[in-house]
Amino acid sequence: MQNIYDNKVFFKEYEEMRSKDINANKLIEQPIFNSMLPMLRGKRILDLGCGTGEFCRLAKSEGASFVMGIDCSKNMLNVAKNCNDGITYLNLPMENLGKLNDKFDIVTSSLAFHYVEDFDKLIGDISKLLISGGELIFSQEHPVATAFKSPKNERIDNKIDIHGKRYYLLSDYNNIGKRVVKWNVSGVIKYHRNFSEIINTLIRHGFIITKVMESYADEEAIKKEPKYAYQNDRPYFLFISAKKS
């Protein structure tokens, strides 16, 4: 397992990006993710890859009875713990979810599942932690965004404009597995899975898919950052909510 958020250079760049008013988390990911949430009041919630705890704080302020956030990065958790208000944070990788004995009503995760290699084990472990009828809501990088594989493990320019219209190159969609990309630093490891692999893994572990969304930018987001309009050509993020049957 790679712990890139504890890389000094990566973390500095990431913090800088997240502190800006205009970023894809704030303008694109969080509004869609939050629109998929069930009522949190009185619920026991586990947030996977909780980062600096933004979602944990939201859950607590919405009246969740117990909120636990886990993350493999000490850097991210240190920020979270600085504004801790009754939230339990654990420095635990998602690969070790089996170490938890608690039961939860809701498991959430924003933009972290694409860092986990064994998706089958992850979903199996989440299923064990949820009560019957419990819900899993997660976002991840969209498969059309993670598919692209550069022979040199770099982020290369994978878009072209023809007659004023943008096109994105797509490759390796059905070649699931490791991708090494440059994002803030070189050598960032992510895992690509196609759509059927994601959905069928959830079904195999007894989940009923209740909603699927793909990122788009609304007019307000496009006004703030015109390049977000390109999400109509290629979405950045995939969102799934599923219920444990």
Nearest Cα to Cα of residue 57 among 108, 92, 113: 108
Query: How far is it, in rounded angstroms, from Cα 14 to Cα 9?
Result: 9
Instruction: Give the sign of the dihedral formed by CA 190, CA 195, CA 103, CA 30.
Output: positive
- Which amino acid belongs to residue 27? L
57 or 244: whose CB is closer to ligand SAM? 57
74-82 and 8-19 helices, crossing angle to 10°: 40
What is the pattern of x (binds ligand SAM, CB under 6 A) and - over residues 75-94?
Answer: -x----------------xx
CB of 126 to ligand SAM, least distance (A): 12
- Segment lying near ligand SAM (by CB under 6 A), choices 44-52, 99-107, 126-134, 204-212: 44-52
Q: C-beta of 3: minimal distance to ligand SAM in Å?
A: 7
Query: Does 141 participate in binding ligand SAM (rule CB under 6 A)?
Result: no
Q: Write down the residue that tokens 């994105």 correspond to.
A: 168
**Residue number, 50 or 106, with CB nearest to ligand SAM:** 50
Which residue is listed with tokens 């998602």?
94
Which residues ranging from 103 to 122 are in contact with ligand SAM (CB under 6 A)?
Answer: 110-112, 115-116
H/E run at residue 120: helix 119-129
- Residues at the interface with ligand SAM (CB under 6 A): 1, 5, 49-51, 54, 71-73, 76, 93-95, 110-112, 115-116
